[in-house]
Chains A and B, each alone.
Chain A
Amino acid sequence: MVTVDKEEMASSGLFTKVAAAAVAALLISPIIVISVLSFSESRYLMFPPPGYSLRWYQNLIQDTSWRHAFLTSIEIAIPVMFLATLLGTAAAIALARSQSRAKELLITLTLTPMIVPSIVTAVAAFLWFAPVHLVETPIALVFSHTAIAIPLVVLSVSASLQGVDQSLELCARSLGASPFLAFRKITLPQIRAGILGGGLFAFITSFDEPVIALFIAGTKTVTLPKRMWDGIRYEIDPTVSAVSTIIVLFTLFLVVLAFHFSPRRTRTSPPASPETGGRQA
């Protein structure tokens, strides 16, 4: 008879552990390498750097085109965040509570922007905004980015609605609260985390979005991804590694913030898999 230790059997073997460690290293090392290189003193991207300096950061601060691009991206991402959060939250609540037969179809429609290649979305947006002279304006970018950010908010808010008992809100209603008051006092506090998380994801989506920006931003509304694209495509400008490092830290901060707000799960339930979005390029 074979006797095997139960613990040992359920755990993974050495091969799996080594493979997993290698994949983890692969996932994280490019980001670390780029951060280290941003402090290089050489204009060639050698690793390890021959010496360390802040010259690329200095370059970044002195070059106004980068500062403008950063501010433009922020200016676009903030309205996107509010608009997408408002529309997405309402949609998530509607979908969670609907028992309509069309529900499946409605969910598919709401999530479609995640599956359509962003280049197609970008061309469509360009052709749509060109006749009304909105191409090269920040407004066009806000409109288009909001469309691709709505699904992310819907997913995040839906996740937090999962644990909400709707009967509590009905109780409040039966005790005389108006629908809005019942929602504000009972349901909203329970899904606040999902809403805040969704809003931050919407912000990041817009802030990092390269393809639509490339097609409809033109030369007048240069966002940070568009500026980076120019800096990578035509010459390898080491300033990009300094920008990259700042973006990584900025995004990391926002994501940590988003997960901090995101719905927490109990220990017995499967480990929290974060609300992630389908970002494309």
Chain B
Amino acid sequence: MPLFGIHPRAVHRTTPPTKSIRKSCGNLLLLVPALGYLCIFFFFPIAFLLFQSALAPGNYLRVLQEPVYLEVMYRTAKMSLAVTIVCLALGYPFAYFLTTASQRVVNLAIGVVMMPFWTSILVRSYAWLVLLQREGIINKALLELRLIARPLKLVYNLNGVICGISYIMLPYMILVLYASMRNVDLQLLVVARSLGATRLRAFYKIFVPLTAKGIMEGCSLVFILSFGYFITPALLGGREQTTFSMLIDIQMNQLLDWRFGATLSAVLLLVIMLLVFGVRRIVRLERSVQWLQ
């Protein structure tokens, strides 16, 4: 399987061995500027953040002792799980459709997925704010169909947050699922059906198990990205939907307690890293951000 879009062996074969050693050292020099840059402007700042939070170890105790922090953490996890389920339920049929559609339809459908993907997150959150508000299009449609008597409260609550984040995460899910489904040999479904399986049975017994790895990858990615999300829950949620990242914002920008903000950031980072390493046995996350290829 090509790793990171590069076939290491393909390069190896065409390179004479003696030269390859010299070249490989020379080539790695090209990596120095980027890694050096990331050190100064990404890794060192994060290390500094961890250092700052370690200066006040009492803050870590505070996170564990005051129930609000663990409660919000738990709530954030539940919310991310809900988002993951919504994305899987919507993304799976769509990705399956892509594997069976003609090339032209696929190109168009990928365009439909990429359009929101590359649209600013603020624009997308704002759009849901507009759709879900009291006089919004959804309430209006439901009223006109006489399904409801009074407008529903759809935003500034859990519903708003789940709609908004799912909308933003859906393209990730679709792209990861599609990348894994593309490798499935559809002839297997044909064989299963010619042996008498119904369409549904062939789908559940053959196709779904073969895409299990893609499902795991997509779900892990969506869960982990949702867990650290800030903008959308801040705009579409109510007070009940405060996520862990919003607590960080409150400490940093309202209470101006930077040290405690650093501690909370460190905790969030540790949780994310634990999640990434936790799913590492099953999926390599940094490889699934390369669904891409």
Residues of A within 8 A of B (CB): 2-4, 6, 9-13, 15-17, 19-20, 23-24, 26-28, 30-31, 33-34, 37, 44-47, 86-88, 90-91, 93-100, 103, 106-121, 123-128, 130, 143-144, 146-148, 150-151, 154-155, 158-159, 161-162, 165-167, 170, 179, 204, 208, 210-211, 214-215, 225, 228-229, 232-233, 236, 240-241, 244, 247-248, 251-252, 255, 267, 270-276, 278-281
Contacts and interface: CB of A to CB of B under 8 A. Distances in A.
Interface stretch (B59-67, B134-142, B145-153, B208-216): B134-142
Interface in B91-121: 91, 93-94, 96-98, 100-101, 103, 106-107, 109-110, 112-121
A118 B137 contact: no
A34 B122 contact: no
B223 interface: no
B130 A241 contact: yes
Max chain B C-beta neighbours (<10 A), residue from A6, A99, A166, A244:
A99
Given A13-B199, A44-B135, A248-B123, A123 B252 contact: yes
Contacts of B74: none
Contact of B122 (A19, A44, A93, A232): A232
**Closest 5 pairs (CB-CB, A-B):** A117-B228, A20-B97, A281-B231, A128-B45, A91-B34
Given A98-B27, A225-B122, A113 B285 contact: no
Contacts of A165: 14
Given A23-B90, A31-B115, A144-B41, A271 B27 contact: no
A119 B130 contact: no
Given A87-B37, A271-B107, A30 B31 contact: no
Given A17-B97, A31-B115, A90-B31, 8 more contacts: A30-B127, A94-B28, A112-B43, A117-B227, A120-B49, A125-B45, A143-B41, A280-B228
A98 B175 CA distance: 28
Nearest to A165: B14
Interface in B30-72: 30-31, 33-35, 37-38, 41-46, 48-49, 52
Contact of B97 (A19, A88, A126, A143): A19
A19 B116 contact: no
A247 B119 contact: yes
Given A124-B265, A248-B119, A33 B286 contact: no
Max chain A C-beta neighbours (<10 A), residue from B115, B129, B170, B286:
B286
Contacts of A130: 258
A280 B6 contact: no
Contacts of B90: 23, 26
A281 B110 contact: no
Nearest to B196: A2
Interface string B279-293: 000000110011111
Contacts of B30: 90-91, 93-94
B232 A281 contact: yes
Given A120-B268, A124-B265, A247 B127 contact: no
A179 B46 CA distance: 37
B73 interface: no
Contacts of B272: 115-117, 120
Contacts, number: 357
A24 B190 CA distance: 27
Interface in B217-236: 224-225, 227-232, 234-235
B248 interface: yes
Contacts of A155: 5, 289-290, 292
Contacts of A159: 5, 292-293
A127 B122 contact: no
Contacts of A281: 121-122, 168, 229-232
A16 B93 contact: yes
Contact of A31 (B96, B119, B168, B196): B119
Nearest to B36: A87
A120 B228 contact: yes
Nearest to B104: A271
A247 B190 contact: no
B242 interface: no
Given A97-B24, A115-B272, A117-B227, A4 B126 contact: no
A2 B46 contact: no
Contacts of B14: 165-167, 170
A270 B93 CA distance: 19
Contacts of B117: 276
